[in-house]
């Protein structure tokens, strides 16, 4: 009681009635300011300072998260470029090795044919002395043939070891990519088939466009090497197809924040009854930006029932993402967006109890668990 009385006394002394004096050329006016008004003004100033500090802290935290995200994206992009560069050069390297072996083999056949034609003394070996007798010719020819056979055999073993190393690495990548895709709850085999068909269609369209262009040049038969290594080239094609699938899936977070409600069965925040939650709720400070989890085409941008303001992005292969409860939308329907492009600002529109993002991943219209995709994305970022 004494403490309360002392606080009241202190407040009255601190916020006693004060007068503001306004002096003009013609008069001097006094305007009293009561203790309540002073208290409200002090509270307002403290509130503005607190809000400024909170906003500054939130901005700096968001800026740091964005910078970290950009660094991670750059690392993943660099790894993707390395994979594409490595395997785009693979066929060329194999062709060069094969051509070297074929050149040596043809030269060996040429030397043998020279020996066969000259062994009876009917002619002279190219590059051999004019007065060399048949035994010396035969000895020199056999030395050349021995060297060539040894070199061809060496190239053959080197070629086989190189191909086996590529085959092993390719199979490892195929298994790795399949595991990542299967972690999302989708079928790697089904998506691989869809992606393969899309790539074949793109190749046909490209070939069709090239047919109308002026072309020409001398005819050179294609090497048979690719036919002999059909399994290896098929594995490389499969690996690149699966890599294309992974680049299509939304494996990154659309917004930094804390998870407030996960996918699946939960107690509904309004009815307090058990219900199914088709997405993932992520809460963050007011004004936090929502970004595209993967590249795609905006198929909806507007108001939709319980979602409130919502954006839907189609990523291809039957996969789409939804972003709900937005305070404002920054894209239009039909717009093409890249990964991490700004889509909207999080909000609390629609059936919502507070500011957050309702995030969904759907496959052929059916909701999938977004956490599976985010967990799979962690494995991609560590490659």
Quick count: other Cβ atoms within 10 Å of Cβ 79?
Answer: 14
Q: Is 370 helix (H, G, I), strand (E, B) or coil?
A: helix
Q: What percent of the chain has pLDDT over 70?
A: 59
Instruction: Output the pLDDT for position 121.
Output: 45
21-32 confidence digits (pLDDT tens): 656 666 666 566
Please tell me the distance from the alpha carbon of residue 237 to that of residue 249, in angstroms, as a whole number: 19
Span 342-361, average pLDDT: 94
Q: Which domains does the chain have, with CATH numbers?
A: 2-61 (no CATH), 77-208+233-246 (no CATH), 258-381 (2.70.70.10)
292-324 confidence digits (pLDDT tens): 999 999 999 999 999 999 999 999 999 999 999
Give the pair of three-digit tokens for residue 103.
Answer: 């050149």
Span 272-281, average pLDDT: 90
Please tell me the distance from the alpha carbon of residue 310 to that of residue 315, in angstroms, as a whole number: 16
Which conformational region is residue 340 in: left (phi greater than 0), alpha (psi within -120 to 50 degrees), or beta? left
Query: Are the C-beta atoms of residues 322 and 307 closer than 8 Å to each other?
Result: yes
Please tell me the distance from the alpha carbon of residue 349 to that of residue 311, in angstroms, as a whole number: 13
Does pTM top 0.95 for this prediction? no
Instruction: Output the pLDDT for position 124.
Output: 45
pLDDT confidence band for 125 (50 / 70 / 90): very low
Instruction: Output the pLDDT for position 66.
Output: 67
Please tell me the distance from the alpha carbon of residue 116 to that of residue 332, in angstroms, as a whole number: 79
Q: How many residues belong to the chain?
A: 383
């Amino acid at each position: 009681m004494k403490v309360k009385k002392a606080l009241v006394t202190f407040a009255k002394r601190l916020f006693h009635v004060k007068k503001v004096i306004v002096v003009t050329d013609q008069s001097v006016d006094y305007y009293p300011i009561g203790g309540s008004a002073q208290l409200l003004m002090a509270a307002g100033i403290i509130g503005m300072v607190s809000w400024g500090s909170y906003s500054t802290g939130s901005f700096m935290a968001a800026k740091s998260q964005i910078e970290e995200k950009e660094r991670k994206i750059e690392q993943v992009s660099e790894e993707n470029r390395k994979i594409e560069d490595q395997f785009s050069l693979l066929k060329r390297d194999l062709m060069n090795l094969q051509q070297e072996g074929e050149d040596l083999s043809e030269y060996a056949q040429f030397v043998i044919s020279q020996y066969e034609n000259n062994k009876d003394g009917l002619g002279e070996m190219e590059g051999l002395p004019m007065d060399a007798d048949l035994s010396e010719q035969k000895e020199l020819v056999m030395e050349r043939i021995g060297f060539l056979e040894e070199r061809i055999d060496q190239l053959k073993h080197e070629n086989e070891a190189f191909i086996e190393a590529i085959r092993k690495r390719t199979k490892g990548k195929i298994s790795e990519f399949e595991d990542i895709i299967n972690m999302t709850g989708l079928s790697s085999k089904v998506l691989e088939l869809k992606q393969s068909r899309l790539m074949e269609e793109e190749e046909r369209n490209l070939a069709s466009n090239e047919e109308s262009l002026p072309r020409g040049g001398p005819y050179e038969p294609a090497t048979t090497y690719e036919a002999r290594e059909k399994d290896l080239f098929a594995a490389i094609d499969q690996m690149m197809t699966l890599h294309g699938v992974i680049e299509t899936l939304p494996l990154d977070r659309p917004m930094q924040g804390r998870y407030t409600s996960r996918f699946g069965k939960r107690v509904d925040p309004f009815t307090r009854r058990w219900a199914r939650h088709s997405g993932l709720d992520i809460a963050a400070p007011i004004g936090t930006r929502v970004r595209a989890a993967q590249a795609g085409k905006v198929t909806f941008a507007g108001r939709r029932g319980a979602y409130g303001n919502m954006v839907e992005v189609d990523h291809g292969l039957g996969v789409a993402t939804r972003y709900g409860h937005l305070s404002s939308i920054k894209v239009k329907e039909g717009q093409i967006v890249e990964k991490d492009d700004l889509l909207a600002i999080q909000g609390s529109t629609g059936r919502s109890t507070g500011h957050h993002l309702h995030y969904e991943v759907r496959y052929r219209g059916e909701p999938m668990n977004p956490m599976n995709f985010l967990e799979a994305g962690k494995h991609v970022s560590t490659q």
